[in-house]
Structures are given as structure tokens and as C-alpha cells.
Amino acid sequence: MQPQTNTSPAGAVQLSRREFIKTTGKIAAASALAGIVLPHVHAAEDNTIRLALIGCGPRGTGAVADAIAAEGSPVKLVAMADVFQDKMDKSFGVLSEKFRAQVDVPRERQFLGFDAYRKAMDCLRPGDVAMLTTRSAFRPLHFEHAVEKGLNVFMEKSFAPDPAGTHRLLRAGEAAEKKNLKVGCGVMCRHSTARQALIERIRGGALGELVLIRAYRLQQGNFVKAIKLDEPELMWQIRHPMYFHWVSSGLFIDNIIHHIDECCWLKDAWPVSAQGMGGREANSEDCSQNLHSHHIEYTFADGTKATVDGRFQPKCYNEFSTFVHGTKCAAQFSGAIHAPTVYQFKGQSAGTANVAWRPPKETISPYTAEWSALLTAIRKNRPHNEAKRGAYTNYTALMGRAAVHGNRMVTRDEITSSQFAFFPGLDSATPDTPAPVKLDAQGRYPAPVPGSWTEV
């Protein structure tokens, strides 16, 4: 079955935070929760939840805007941390200009370095939120420290680059639950009202028994053709995270983890195995570690399949969507740039001419809705801990990536029992620490080669 081209409802396409900031250089300040008032029951004297931003790239900057947009939930950014001064300066400039009343981060609370996360968290009080928005390599360490300090947490995807880091994340999530801390994970599509409506219909049998789920992210490449190390190699790699598996989980997981999570949500289960294949563009000059095409076939315990395809090459067919097929009919679950392009079709053929049902138009951005859920849980002291689900999604993504890189079958038991870590010494790293991967004589970084590559 050929993938269908996306056709979104009027006004439904929403740019991701990263794309919006990259395109405009500004933050969208308008609240998506107009008219909704949440009770002010936070224990702090001034009734404001303080935020510490750890990781000041576009994702972190956008997440602050989303927290501020959660109307009825007064928040204030009081500390920032990063390893790069220029990134922190840019983020602070954008946020302080756009949200003057909600940003109070003088120079003495702008922390730089590998230990900056500790200093930023020291500026918070119980009930406040540590925002963990670095790339995934640092997520387990930062999450552990936040839980140790008794802080609520918002963490961005992806969650850890390897099995060892995911184990740490899962254990920290269990510790957070014992302390009654609230944890939000940035797989925001779970907070999409349109998708929730279709999930309810699927659980009610509207599609029949699910037989196939298929997801696509086929888009332009993200290549690096010439590398000039103008700073210590470790810092250069952290500054260019998408080129390295150890920093960001690699281009594939960083981009595809949403689609993988959607497949698991649709099935309401975690796959037991993954078979994969992938490769590079012929005669490629790309010096990064990334493959350019990825195909995963996930198998669930009952035999149901989910296929996930990623391709990052120019001058090719593009597609950004998730579809689900049942014994009665099919549905579209997601559209371009995570838009809530949600339809139930009359049969197995997709397309707007074949629509049998569609949900009401979303009025709340999932990016804001996930913050509303977290802040409401904090104020009302409701259970809210998405860490386990985030870790399980991460295991599933790692299982698929390992299958692609090895062109083989990888089981869930194999990935969850693995102790593999790309960079075991990261917790004690400094800017002068040797990088875990090195340029070869041709000026390239090692890319996965089946039979000789290890990540499980």
C-alpha cells in the first residue's frame, strides 16, 4: 500500500517549536488556553512556579514559551544553564524581550559549564520545575539530580542515547514516583485532543481489530560535508548534536521517536521485536555518523506489525504521517510536522474524499497542553509521572535503531537487558575530555556498518 499525501484540515498544520524559532527567530506568545483558569494552589508564597532552564537551544527556549502560555498557571524563569555562552545569550535575549514579566534571570543566575545544571537547580524551591532540554546524552544525569533535590521535572525528547542511560532514566522515574514528584515528558502528541478522540474510537472497536500501523518521516537530509574543529572535539560534537549517536541519539531517533510512540499508543502495547535495514546515499560525502534511510518492522506480542520509515535525502518523495489499519477500515493519526491530521476513512483507502469521521478542530496546542497537565498536577497535587512511558518509548526507539544499524532482528529483552553506553565517562566530563568518537584519516566520523557495529 502506497503512503498517502497529507491533506490537513484548515488551520490544523502547526510548526514545531524548533521549526518556528528557526524560521522566525521569535517565540509565539499567544496563549492557546484562553478562557481556561486553573486554581492557584501552589505552596509558594507568591503563587508562582519557578523554572530553571537546563539546555538553552531552540527546544528549551520554545518550552519556556509553552509553559508561559499555559494560562492560569503563573510561572517565572529564574535560572538558565548551558555549556555554550552564545546559546544562552541568544535564548535569554529572545525570552527576556518577549516575556519581560516572566523572565527574571540576572547574570548571576546564568550558569555556564558541565556543572551548570546543579547551580541552576539550586535556585529552585520544592514545587518548582527543572526543565531538562539538553540533548539526550545528559538527560539521565540531570534527571537523577533533579529527583535527588525533590524537584518536579519537564524533560524533552529524546530521553537517552543508549540502553544504559535508559535504565538510569527508568530508575530515576521510579524514585520520583516514590517522592510524589511530577514528571512531564516531551512526547507531546499524547496530549493532542484530536488524537485522543481517535484513540477512544479505536478502543471502542470503530476500526475493528488493528492489523497494521505505518509511519513515515521522509524529508531532506542533514549532512555535514566538511568538518573544521574550531574548538575542543568534545565541545564541537555537543554543538553539532544531530551528527552523533552519543549526543542526541542520532538524527533518526531524535526525529522519529514521536512516530514510534504513536505506533505504541495506537496498539496500546510495546513491541517484542524489531527487524530493520538501512543505508547511506551512494557516493555520499556526509561525514556524520547518520544513515540516510531507515526501515523498521516492529512486531507486537499478538503478531500485529507496525512499520516505521525514515529517509533523510534531498530530491526524493517527502511524507510525514502515521496511518492505522483495522479489519473494518483505516484512519490517519498524524500529519506534517506533527499536525493533528486525524481522519477515520470509510474503507482502507486514505484521502479526504473517503473520510467517514473527523474530530473537532483542536483549540489547544499539544505543546501547551502538556505543560497545562504538568502544572495542574503540581498545583492540585495529582499523580503525574510520564517517565516510565518515556523510558519505554525510548527502549522501543533504541531497539529499532539497533535493528537498522545491524540490519538484523533485535528483541525487547535484548535491549532492556543491555548495559551498553556510548560514553561511560560523560558524568565527569569537562570541555577538555577526549571525545568518545574521533575523526578518521579521511575526516569522517564512524557510521554504523552491519556486523562490526555495536550499540546493544
CA 236 – CA 83 distance, rounded (Å): 11
SS3 344: strand
What is the CATH number assigned to the segment(s) 194-362+395-428? 3.30.360.10
In this prediction the pTM is 0.90
Q: How many Cβ atoms sit within 10 Å of the Cβ of residue 208?
A: 12
129 backbone dihedrals φ, ψ, rounded to 5° = -125, 125
Question: Could you tell me if 38 and 25 are in contact, meaning their C-beta atoms sit under 8 angstroms apart?
Answer: no
Residue whose C-alpha is closest to residue 446's, from 398, 416, 405:
405
- Structure confidence at residue 30 (pLDDT): 34
CA 366 – CA 448 distance, rounded (Å): 35
Residue 45: pLDDT band with limits 50, 70, 90: low
Topology annotation, domain 17-189+367-385: Rossmann fold (3.40.50)
> What percent of the chain has pLDDT above 90?
87
Tell me the per-residue pLDDT of 100-136, one tens digit each, with 9 for 90 and over. 999 999 999 999 999 999 999 999 999 999 999 999 9
Tell me the per-residue pLDDT of 363-397, one tens digit each, with 9 for 90 and over. 999 999 999 999 999 999 999 999 999 999 999 99
The helix (run of H) or strand (run of E) holding residue 266 is helix 250-267
Q: How many whole angstroms from its chain centre is CA 370? A: 13
Domain boundaries, the chain: 17-189+367-385, 194-362+395-428
